[in-house]
Amino acid sequence: MSTPAFGVGTFRLKDQVVIDSVRNALELGYRLVDTAQIYENEAEVGRAIAESGVPRKDLFVTTKIWVDNFSRDKLVPSLIESLARLRLDHVDLTLLHWPSPGGAVPLAESLNALAEAKSQGLTKAIGVSNFTIDLLRQSIAIVGADHIATNQVELHPFLQNRKLAEFAAGAGIHLTSYMTLAVGRVMQDPVLQQIAERHDATVAQVALAWAMKLGHAVIPSSTKRENLASNLKALDLALDDSDMQAIARLDRGQRLAAPARLQPEWD
């Protein structure tokens, strides 16, 4: 099962807020739910999934291993704990959330532990997040490109990550875009506003449709049911070449997710 093109993210959502968001998303037709150990909301996500009534076979659930759990002796046990919180016997995709800070845990150790989790049936697929071209090259050498389902990275109209996207495409590795709406900054952009008006769409729909037209999956989050419903309509929005060219010119390398301890040397 390949990664769906569209899902709901849960970053920064906690407690009843995340339960409501995931419940609304599933009711509206979303089938990919993205969470992570460090979000501290896996239990609430699991509750929303359990109460949704959506058959497990129709869902695609992603979680991410936090950097403190990258060692061989911690990774699989931490994923088992995540599954208990999620009330699932497996997830569909498990990612290394960030490169190991300072290379504290060798990449081969964490990727091989992740591969072991897959062989045990704890996750159907594995991948990485916030990985650079160099780190992807290393990952390919360790487990092979066929075993890297996605690289989840910050990617939006103001940070288009073209070098990384080109390398990933050449290697056959899919990208998942997070922060596709640039934490709301896309809403104020006049170029995106004009494109939205031309298509009788919202600016959020334009940004999401742009990323999907480039071949990336998107996982926008929202606490409002009407926004979740509106975002989903991006699947039906067809941008033309002039739209894509106009958005391409918006790239200014504006990175928003830059935690000091975790950042690799970006491309």
- Is 199 labelled a binding residue? no
C-alpha to C-alpha distances, 114 to 98, 122, 251, nearest whole angstrom: 14, 10, 34
Catalytic: 30? no
Q: In CATH, what number does 8-184+215-233 get? A: 3.20.20.100
pLDDT at residue 2 in the model: 80
Going by C-alpha positions, the residue among 183, 223, 225 that lies closest to residue 204 is 183
Whether the predicted pLDDT of 19 surpasses 90: yes
- In the prediction, which pLDDT does 216 show? 98
- Residue 189: per-residue pLDDT: 98
Burial class (CB in 10 A: 0-12, 13-18, 19+), 31: middle
Give the pLDDT mean for 238-254. 98
Mean pLDDT of 69-92: 98
pLDDT tens digit string along 122-167? 999 999 999 999 999 999 999 999 999 999 999 999 999 999 999 9
Amino acid identity of 97? H
Q: What is the mean pLDDT of residues 27-51?
A: 98
Nearest CA to 20 among 226, 228, 223? 223
Residue 98, pLDDT > 80, answer: yes
The rounded percent of the chain whose pLDDT value lies above 90 is 98
With a cut of 80, say whether residue 85 has pLDDT above it.
Answer: yes
Spatial contact of 19 and 42, defined as CB atoms under 8 Å apart: no
Q: Tell me which of 2 and 209 has the higher pLDDT.
A: 209
Q: What does the angle CA 130 – CA 134 – CA 135 come to, to the nearest 5 degrees? A: 45
Q: What is the pLDDT of residue 3?
A: 85
Domain boundaries, given as residue ranges, for the chain: 8-184+215-233
Confidence of residue 1 (pLDDT cuts 50, 70, 90): low
On the 0-12 / 13-18 / 19+ scale of CB atoms within 10 A, 93 is buried
Identified catalytic residue from 6, 39, 131, 210: 39
- Please give the model's pTM, rounded to 2 decimal places: 0.97
pLDDT of residue 258: 87
